[in-house]
Amino acid sequence: HWQEQQIKSLLLVTLVRGDDVSGFLGLDTVRTSRNWQDDDITLLTRAVAIFAQAMERRDTAEGLSRSEGQYRSFVEDQSDFVVHWRPGHKVASVNDRCCQYFGISREEITGQSFLSLIHPDDRAQVTGRLAWLSRLHPQTEGEHRVLKRGGGYAWARWVDRAFYDDAGNVIEYLSSGND
């Protein structure tokens, strides 16, 4: 229907993402006919590449958001205590089960050291076990006493996993425990 719009010259570049055609980007003239130059084609091709990259970033962000929501739902549904923490033993997040068991709110524990929830006599053993973690051995398991809601201690079994960046530095940990 480009004839109905009285288009005299048309330059279209296909927007392709992977194996799929996502659309077209074009330039047209309606007053006079035009011979499109290489610079025109190059400019439009670059604009299409920018659009394609923006669409890929949007799709990646949407996928990541969905994945994070699924992960959060999975963590919250666990019957185990789940603690996400950073180097220095600082808590980044915990699940509801952890809050209920220890009798703390997320606000109270986030940013604090989780060592305060471990029996003082067991802290050296726990920090020693965690210090053993490496890229070759990123996971450890152990038991130690933890402070329960209302006071007193109970034994809990924990699995601790370290995550590393490309340079081999620990960026975060994930621990799962049960009593």
Q: How far apart are CA 16 and CA 22, in angstroms?
A: 6
Q: Is the pLDDT of residue 149 over 90?
A: no
Q: Is the pLDDT of residue 1 over 70?
A: no
| 3 state DSSP class of 143 | strand
pLDDT one-digit tens code per residue, 30-54: 888 889 999 999 999 999 999 889 9
CA 27 to chain centre: 39
Answer whether 122's CB lies under 8 Å from 128's CB: no
Q: What pLDDT does 76 receive? A: 74
Indicate the pTM of the whole model: 0.65
When pLDDT is cut at 50, 70 and 90, the band that residue 2 belongs to is low
Answer whether 145's CB lies under 8 Å from 118's CB: yes
pLDDT one-digit tens code per residue, 8-37: 888 889 988 888 888 888 888 888 888 999
Q: What pLDDT does 3 receive? A: 66
pLDDT one-digit tens code per residue, 62-91: 888 888 877 777 767 777 899 999 999 999
Q: What pLDDT does 77 receive? A: 72
When pLDDT is cut at 50, 70 and 90, the band that residue 5 belongs to is confident
pLDDT cut 90: percent of the chain above it: 55
Q: What pLDDT does 78 receive? A: 75
pLDDT one-digit tens code per residue, 91-125: 999 999 999 888 899 999 999 999 999 999 999 99
Pairing outcome for strands 81-86 and 9-17: unpaired
